[in-house]
Amino acid sequence: MIFREDLLQGQVALVTGGGTGIGFVISRELARHGADVAITSRNPEHHTQIVQEVEALGRRALAIQADVRDPEQTQRVAERVREELGRIDILVNNAAGNFLCAAEQLSPNGWRAVVEIVLHGTFFMSKAVLPAMKEQGGGAIVNIGANYAWLAAPYVSHSGAAKAGVLNLTRTLAVEWAPYNIRVNAVTPGPIADTEGVRRLMSDPKTHKAVLDTVPLKRLGKREEIAWAVLFLVSPAAAYITGHNLVVDGGMWFNHRMFRPEV
Ligand code: NAP
């Protein structure tokens, strides 16, 4: 354990897309450090395992089927978390969609789907938890970004633009909601092992090497390393940090030899 086991004792966290990949590990680590955890995503098949893991850690778990693109559904999610777990202290906006496609070929629906999940979803879910956090006298929101949003993002123009929007939203909400004692920060991953996207992208050894060549630390990140950055930002250690973007990518974003996937 890197942090104290009771770091988040008595708190309730909500993680969008908390049933798979990085969100799964964020949810498990929040529970391991004392939080009760709610997750939301569209596919109930993604809910069973995380609920079991959280309950096995002795914490309360709640999984809610919802689509973050729909503000009525995000509203309902926040209401159910409050009804069933009593409060909302932490929100992690982690849900995302992505696929490789040259901008020239990208359809309006493809563009819309990704921007709506990432950017609209982050805004709708954040607004939905606002009343609870205001009434409780504070809270912590962490938005998950992506390091290609800092540079150009060839073949993920939809995701790059949406994630860049999320970074600006992080800073703006940090300022607007500071009077409510709500801190809003971002964690920006580079390529992370044991995730579907990286598995797809790096199945070919040539691509694997080409990506690692752009990472100064010469390895992929671990899902836990993203979760630990989230834990830090929601913990009292970060009580004076808001509007910050914590980049967790092995130094990749300093590297201007941009990796261009083959599509
Ligand atoms: P992932 O496993 O595909 O997770 C995405 C999650 O979002 C899924 O659980 C999915 O669940 C949920 N989701 C998708 N659309 C949704 C919607 N409309 N409403 C509600 N939930 C929705 O991806 P990941 O690799 O773990 O990525 C997690 C986060 O890290 C994302 O924000 C991603 O952009 C970021 N990131 C990842 C990497 C990487 O190397 N993997 C790099 C940079 C940034 P359902 O299908 O059940 O809805």
Q: Each residue of 238-254: pLDDT tens digit?
A: 999 999 999 999 999 98
- Each as own residue / partner, the long-range contacts of residues 174-177 (CB below 8 Å, 24 or more positions apart, any chain) are 174/242, 174/243, 175/243, 177/130, 177/133
Q: Is the CB of 79 under 6 A from ligand 1?
A: no
Q: What is the band of 163 on the pLDDT scale with cuts at 50, 70, 90?
A: very high
Asked whether 117 lines ligand 1 (CB < 6 A), one says yes
Q: Which atom of ligand 1 is nearest to the CA of 220?
A: 40
Please work out whether the CB of residue 31 comes within 6 Å of at least one atom of ligand 1.
no
Helix (H) or strand (E) segment spanning residue 205: helix 205-212
pLDDT of residue 227: 98
Determine whether the shortest distance from the Cβ of 198 to ligand 1 is under 6 A: yes
Angstrom CA distances, 149 to 33, 75, 207, stand at 30, 28, 20
Q: What's the rounded mean pLDDT across residues 73-98?
A: 98
What pLDDT does residue 202 have?
84
Task: Verify whether ligand 1 is closer than 6 Å to residue 23 (CB atom).
Answer: yes
pLDDT 10s digits, 35-51? 999 999 999 999 999 99
Question: Which atom of ligand 1 is nearest the CA belonging to 18?
Answer: 9
**Alpha carbon of 215 to ligand 1 centroid (Å):** 22
CA of 89 to the centre of ligand 1 (A): 22
Cα-based torsion angle of the residue sequence 109, 111, 112, 113 in order, rounded to the nearest 10 degrees: 80
Quote the pTM value.
Answer: 0.98
Output the six-digit token pair for 55. 């309950």
Residues 226 and 29 sit within 8 Å (Cβ to Cβ): no
pLDDT at 95: 99
Q: Whose CA is nearest to atom 27 of ligand 1?
A: 22
Give me the domains of the chain, ranges plus CATH numbers.
12-248 (3.40.50.720)
Whole-angstrom Cα distance, residue 41 to residue 255? 34
**Ligand 1 neighbourhood includes 85 CB (under 6 angstroms):** no
Ligand 1 mean position, distance from CA 179 (Å): 31
* In the chain, % of residues over pLDDT 70: 97
| Atom number in ligand 1 closest to CA 43 | 47
